[in-house]
Structures are given as structure tokens and as C-alpha cells.
Amino acid sequence: MQEIVAQPLTKGAFAPFGDVIETAGAELRLINNGTTQRFHDIANIETDADGKVIASIFRGQPFELPVEIKMMERHPFGSQAFIPMHRRPWLAVVAQDENGRPGRPQAFLVKPNESGVRGVNYARNVWHHPLISLEVESDFLVIDRDGPGGNLEEYFYPEAWSVSAE
Amino acid sequence: MQEIVAQPLTKGAFAPFGDVIETAGAELRLINNGTTQRFHDIANIETDADGKVIASIFRGQPFELPVEIKMMERHPFGSQAFIPMHRRPWLAVVAQDENGRPGRPQAFLVKPNESGVRGVNYARNVWHHPLISLEVESDFLVIDRDGPGGNLEEYFYPEAWSVSAE
């Protein structure tokens, strides 16, 4: 199995795949008579005209490192955002498209930092691995698209990849 | 000042005002080869045709109990959901409409329970108080509507209300 080491999540490294959902670098508006900072519109939430944006909670079983990556999926009709409802690390695994198939996976270790809890938004049609919680069963708020049509494409690699984190 | 005691948040008590965002009672789908439970479409996310659904982070300064409620607001063009990115309690204060003005406030103490972190979604045009964090500065993922037009209506009570929690 080929080995992949997860990188720390940064806006720049993740830009080809979607958005990092975090306060750092976001447009800040002071609202509610000064009692609230609004970090405004921090993810490109997308749906097709026939679909609608919905909110769900995903409760993920924990994976153990190293994680075997056997497949990837993507959603042609909308984006999919994952926001942890906790402060534990988790793994986001994505890949560039290569002629309709995912290329070599890239893994990001997503951790809260001094700016707070962080999530990611996979852009429409970006290859990614299903949710990878770590340590314990973990809840995520998910913003994605519901509606008619087949919004799931899967690809199984001929050989699995092994993802570790430092 | 008239006093109001916050009630525990339940789906039934909150139903006139919107949705409780929680796993309990939600439609459950097992996905991702059995590694994830998807609690599907747990809030009625609404926007008008000219608007779009966006995600933001609200960072709220903590209030001290009892909290003085001087005003309420509502959003005529869309819903507004608040999902804590933490496990601390917070206050949701809402009111029924009475001829275009908010009536007597109702307060809900929102706490995580054995099912996990919980949030609320204020339905379109429901009177509510701006974010009330408790204890320490706290981040919330907010799903609401962006777009043209005046999506904020405010009302200031002639006399403030005092909200305490047990």
C-alpha cells in the first residue's frame, strides 16, 4: 500500500477542493449591538436549481490511524460542508479529478486552532472520502443538497492507500 | 421588570418557533458503508427566491444571568439556524407575533443532552432575541439567508424583561 501523510489544514492548501470553515481571514461584521462578531458567508454553499440546501447531523464512528482509503465519492449537484460539533481532530481526504476519476489522495488533519473549531466545505463535484472521525464517535453538522437525481458518484481504487498523521 | 424563567428546550415547546436541531427523533440513515449515521434534514432551511443560503460563524460575547431582554428581531425572507460549536449552554428567546409585534418572550435554555449538542432553527419571520451566549465567548455555526432587501425587522419593548434560568 502506498503511504500518504496528512498535512495540517490551511486555506491555501485546501483551496482547490473547497473552503476551510473558520473565522481566520473571514469578513467580520460587528452585529447585535456589539455583542456578536459575525464572520460572514464563509463557505460557498452550492445546489442546482432543482435541489435545496438542507442541514443534517452526521454521527461518525471513529477510524484508527493509519486509515485505509479504498474509495472516493463526489456530489455533482451540490457542495457538502462538515462542521464539527466538538473540538476533536478529524481527517479530510480529497483528490483532484483525473479524467473522471480521483487521482492520488491528499489528506488534511483538521484541528481546532487558536481561532476555534474548524470545518471544511467540499466544493461541488470534488472527490472526497466519506467522513473520517478520529478518537471517539463524533457529531458533525452537515450542509448539503437534497433533491432529485443521482447526486452520488463513487470510485474504488484498484489498490488502497494508507493515510497516517503525525 | 417582569420576570421570565427559561424552560428546558423540547421539540414540542419550540415547535411554534422553528426546529430543534438534534439527533433525537430525526430520520436516521446508515451511510458510508455503515460507518456514519446520517440524521437527515433536521431543520427547515428557508430562503426567498432572490436570496441564497449561506453559512457564517457567530462569535457571541457571554451574557450574565438574569439577562435583560429589551428588543426582538425577525427575518422576513428566511430562516436562521444556530448550531453550537461547543458543549456549553446558551439561551434562545422567542415570542409569538401579536399584530406585527412580539408578545411576551419565551426563553429556552439550550443544553447538550445524552444525544449530543443541540441547536435551534428560527423559522422565517419568527421573533427572536439576538444570540445569547453564556459563560464564555462562544462560536456558533449559523445558516441563514443573504440577498437583496431588508431582511431585518426590530422591535423595542416599552419595558425590558428579565430572563433567569434555574
- Tell whether B31 is within 8 A of chain A (Cβ): yes
| Residues facing B119 on adjacent strands | B21
| Residues facing A97 on adjacent strands | A102
At B83-139, the pLDDT tens digits run 999 999 999 999 999 999 999 999 999 999 888 999 999 999 999 999 999 999 999
Mutate to test the interface with B, among A30, A50, A85 (most CBs of B within 10 A): A85
Number of other residues whose CB lies within 10 A of the CB of residue A61:
15
pLDDT band at A47 (very low <50, low <70, confident <90, very high): very high
pLDDT band at B1 (very low <50, low <70, confident <90, very high): confident
Name the residue among B91, B97, B80 with its Cα closest to residue B141: B80
Q: Global pTM?
A: 0.96
Mutate to test the interface with B, among A54, A75, A141 (most CBs of B within 10 A): A141
**In chain B, positions 48-67, which contact chain A (CB-CB < 8 Å)?**
52-61, 63
At A108-117, the pLDDT tens digits run 999 998 889 9
- Compute φ and ψ for A33, nearest 5 degrees: 60, 30
- Tell whether A40 is within 8 A of chain B (Cβ): yes
Domains and CATH numbers, chain B: 2-165 (2.60.120.480)
**Rounded to a whole number, what is the distance in Å from the CA of B166 to chain A's nearest CA?**
23
CB pairs under 8 A between A and B: 138
Residue B9 DSSP code: P
- Tell whether B45 is within 8 A of chain A (Cβ): yes
Using a CB-CB cut-off of 8 Å, the residues of chain B touching A54 are 40-41, 43, 45
Average pLDDT over residues A54-77: 98
pLDDT value for A166: 78
What ipTM was predicted for this assembly? 0.95
Quick check: A142 pLDDT over 90?
Answer: yes
At B48-77, the pLDDT tens digits run 999 999 999 999 999 999 999 999 999 999
